Amino acid sequence: MEETWRWFGPKDAVQLPQIRQTGARGIVTSLHDIPYGEVWSIAAIEERKAIIAADASLGLEWRVVESLPIHERIKLNEGDQTALFDNYRTSMRNLAACGVKTICYNFMPVLDWTRTTLAHPLPGGGTALRFDIVEFAAFDCYMLERPGAEAEFSEETLVAARNWAKAASESDKAKLLANIMAGLPGAYDRYDIPGLRRMLDRYRGVTREILRENLARFLREIIPLADELGMRFAIHPDDPPRSLMGLPRIVSGEDDIAFVLGAIDSVANGLTLCSGSLGAGPKNDVPGIARRFAHRIHFAHLRNVAKDPNGSFMEADHLDGDTDMVALVSVLLEEQERRRLSGAANWRIPMRPDHGHELLDDIGKPTHPGYPVIGRLKGLAELRGVMRAVSAAKGWPLS
């Protein structure tokens, strides 16, 4: 598979020469300084490409957009969205004109990935991202005070959440809010409690079925153009794959993915196979999901999680956790070999290591949560070993 690396742009604490030292050559990035709904101009795209390619000795290339964000009004089907769709399609045309044709995106309402702890201690002093159901229930029920929230948690969780809320200082509560907001990428607005309540009010009455139809409408608006431009769209699963704060989640498991890919049956309408997001769902067989939808996987995020019975989970080492990573990588490599033999021009599946642990001298550095260098490099090295071993055993080209 093609090894790529997520880079948050010139302000990222991780610089391009460091990325080259990992062995990855493909860059996964986005124009985070451009607000949702505005056009990505050719000039802005070429400027980012030029930064990536400035040192030719590094051999780096922008391979995947993560992401071209979808405005909240499109997710809500709120008001006249004509200009939003026109701008989105213009950005698509501009990206294609600049040779960047794979787009990872998500349709998660309000928040992207959500964790309650950004530095859960590991043996030896490293840290990991963690979603703790008790802390999230305390936030939802006793900080946000969302009507009806208590009905969505077990009594055992609620008792622990009430105890947490009673014992928590204002600083503890502020930190929990900041941690939950940390999944919003780039420079976009974070919500305070009143702001979050206002956003949730906008979603009142938006059911799972309505959100599904709004996604289908988005696909009907953009996939025909993606086909025309030779682009590949790859939806990212919900993270975590469960309802949060009463908001419906519609890309959480196998049936959801079947709905999305069936909404428009086109190779341009594809999947980002995120093993961590799907792996946090107790019912999800991640290698099985990958096998069923292999022909529509355009991008892969490879990471692992360890789940607790109560719904909590933590980022595990890439080859540990609850997902059989060797089996998953084998499925992806088998699909890649099928594409190679079919004569496909771009037969390699781009992948990146995701959500590494904070280790060694990365601890305390101002990297984006989940995106330190050393933890991701460790994961990439482990995954590279799996890919080499599986490819050699099968007689497939090393990739």
> Hey, is 267 helix, strand or coil?
coil
Question: How many residues are given for the chain?
Answer: 399
Strand 61-66 vs strand 26-29: parallel, antiparallel, or unpaired? parallel
Instruction: Confirm if 122 and 73 have CB atoms less than 8 A apart.
Output: no
CB atoms within 10 A of CB 23: 12
Query: Which phi-psi region, left, alpha or beta, contains residue 355 (left: φ > 0; alpha: ψ -120 to 50)?
Result: left
Structure tokens at 158: 């609620």
Q: Which of 27, 114, 106, 26 is nearest to 68 (CA)?
A: 106
Q: Are 382 and 389 in contact (CB under 8 A)?
A: no
Is 236 assigned a catalytic role?
Answer: yes
DSSP 358: B
Q: Which of 274, 298, 318, 362 is catalytic?
A: 274
Secondary structure of residue 102 in the 3-state scheme: strand
Give the Cα separation of 383 and 326 in Å (integer). Answer: 9
Told to judge if 239 belongs to the known catalytic residues of this protein, a careful annotator would answer no
Rounded distance between C-alpha atoms, residue 256 and residue 262, angstroms: 10
Choose the catalytic residue: 318, 355, 357, 362: 355
Active-site residue identified among 12, 317, 354, 362: 354
371 catalytically annotated: yes
Secondary structure class of 110 (helix, strand, coil): coil
Strand-strand pairing, 26-29 and 2-6: parallel
Catalytic site residue from 71, 298, 301, 318? 301
Contact 26, 2 (CB under 8 A): yes
Query: Which conformational region is residue 274 in: left (phi greater than 0), alpha (psi within -120 to 50 degrees), or beta?
Result: beta
Structural contact between residues 200 and 149, judged by C-beta atoms closer than 8 angstroms: no
Among 88, 141, 203, 236, the one annotated catalytic:
236
Reply yes or no on whether 298 is catalytic.
Answer: no
Task: Choose the catalytic residue: 88, 142, 203, 371.
Answer: 371
355 is catalytic: yes
Q: Calculate ∠ Cα 190-173-361, nearest 5°.
A: 75
Please indicate whether residue 104 is annotated as part of the active site. Answer: no
The catalytic residues are 236, 274, 301, 354-355, 371
